[in-house]
């Protein structure tokens, strides 16, 4: 008798102090441009109209010294790329940015109306990556005048140690910029994870057969939100709600999730959240096996095994 086919809907949560901080909405600190904690040497740019008065060291939110902002040498237009770079020195989770124009003690007229963001995490990203949010947007709104700060959140957040803000304009435009980054230091040690492509019940577009955490636009496992808690209120479990699902039949290939960390970690607990909705042909997994490795090539001989009693009654 053939084994029945069933769906496994899963939301995975790694218990860590970093996750708790982010999930509770605490990862939105200012990262040090306005305060000066980020030093001038950590700021660089593709060019400046004047290195002294409008160099990148003047791109600090609410500061009005010298020229009053960073201003690139070239007029921004299609085909012209300028950028200002912030080196955070170590991995951070960047959840938002505040942009502000050049006030210049009342004489400024320039501000950044639209921008893009590039990010890099040395040791993981060989090249700069263009950020895309969950709605496939790559161009974001900036300021509408020379003095009002405008906050733009990033969803999903950006995991990086270097950030570039790239002014954007379809038509010739002189821009100047002051800014601040929001987020928190990333102490999780998590470098990347991968999974089989889910048989999604949502609308997310998945184009590769291995999805990694640092691929911000393609990431599937969500570190920033719990899956929908009361799943009985919803007839479909979607990626947008924090869930993934795979179809498995009998003894077919298991769902393998691989997590990579920058240094050896000590684990005390892993929480795995699954749905059990029999009316939707969704069941809990039968067994979970957790293997550990230092280096990723050889794994310990005895994994941790958890066997779940089949539940074909409760929903």
Contacts of 117 (CB under 8 A, 6+ apart): 97, 130, 131, 140, 154, 158, 163, 164, 165, 166
Whether the CB-CB separation of 112 and 143 falls below 8 Å is answered with yes
Q: Which of 20-24, 62-66, 256-260 has the lowest mean pLDDT?
A: 20-24
Coil/strand/helix, residue 17: helix
Q: Between 234 and 273, whose confidence is greater?
A: 273
The three-state secondary structure class of 6 is strand
User: Across-strand partners of 172?
Assistant: none
- Paired strand residues for 173: 76
DSSP 3-state percent helix, strand, coil across the chain (nearest 5): 10, 35, 60
Q: Which residues pair with 120 in a beta bridge?
A: 162
What would the two tokens of residue 154 be?
Answer: 């990033």
User: Tens digits of per-residue pLDDT, 269-307?
Assistant: 887 777 777 777 777 888 889 989 887 778 888 888 888
22: phi then psi, degrees, rounded to nearest 5:
-70, -45
The residue whose two tokens read 């920058």 is: 262
Q: Rounded distance, CA 111 to CA 176, Å? A: 5
How much is the CA Rg of the chain, to the nearest whole Å?
Answer: 23
- How confident is the model over 35-92, as pLDDT tens digits? 999 999 999 999 999 999 999 999 999 999 999 999 999 999 988 999 999 999 988 9
Domains of the chain, earliest start first: 5-16+190-307 (no CATH), 25-185 (2.60.120.260)
Q: Is 278 helix (H, G, I), strand (E, B) or coil?
A: helix
Three-state SS for 121-158 is CCCCCCCCEECCCCCCCCCEECCCCCCCCEEEEEEEEE
Write down the H helix ranges in the chain.
17-23
According to the model, what pLDDT value does residue 210 have?
Answer: 33
């Amino acid at each position: 008798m053939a084994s029945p086919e069933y769906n496994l809907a899963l939301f995975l949560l790694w218990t860590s102090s970093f996750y708790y901080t982010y999930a509770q909405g605490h990862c939105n600190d200012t990262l040090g441009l306005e305060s000066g904690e980020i030093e001038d040497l950590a700021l660089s740019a593709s060019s400046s109209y004047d290195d002294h008065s409008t160099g990148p060291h003047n791109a600090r939110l609410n500061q009005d010294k010298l020229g009053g902002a960073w201003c690139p040498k070239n007029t921004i237009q299609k085909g012209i790329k300028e950028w200002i770079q912030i080196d955070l020195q170590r991995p951070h989770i960047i959840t938002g940015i505040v942009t502000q124009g050049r006030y210049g003690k009342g004489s400024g007229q320039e501000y950044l109306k639209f921008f893009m963001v590039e990010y890099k995490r040395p040791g993981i990203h060989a090249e700069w990556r263009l950020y895309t949010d969950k709605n496939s947007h790559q161009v974001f709104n900036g300021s509408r005048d020379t003095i009002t700060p405008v906050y733009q959140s990033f969803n999903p957040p950006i995991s990086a140690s270097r950030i570039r803000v790239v002014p954007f304009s379809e038509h010739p435009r002189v821009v100047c910029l002051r800014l601040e980054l929001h987020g928190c230091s990333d102490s999780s040690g998590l470098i990347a994870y991968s999974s089989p492509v889910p048989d999604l019940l949502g609308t997310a577009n998945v184009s590769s057969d291995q999805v990694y955490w640092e691929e911000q636009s393609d990431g599937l496992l969500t570190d920033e939100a719990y899956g929908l808690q009361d799943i009985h209120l919803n007839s479909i479990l979607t990626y947008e709600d924090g869930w993934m699902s795979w179809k498995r039949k009998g003894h077919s290939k298991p769902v393998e999730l691989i997590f990579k960390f920058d240094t050896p970690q000590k684990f005390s607990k892993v929480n795995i959240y699954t749905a059990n909705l029999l009316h939707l042909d969704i069941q809990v997994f039968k067994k979970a096996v957790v293997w550990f490795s230092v280096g990723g090539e050889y794994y310990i001989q005895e994994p941790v095994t958890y066997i779940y009693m089949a539940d074909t009654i409760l929903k």
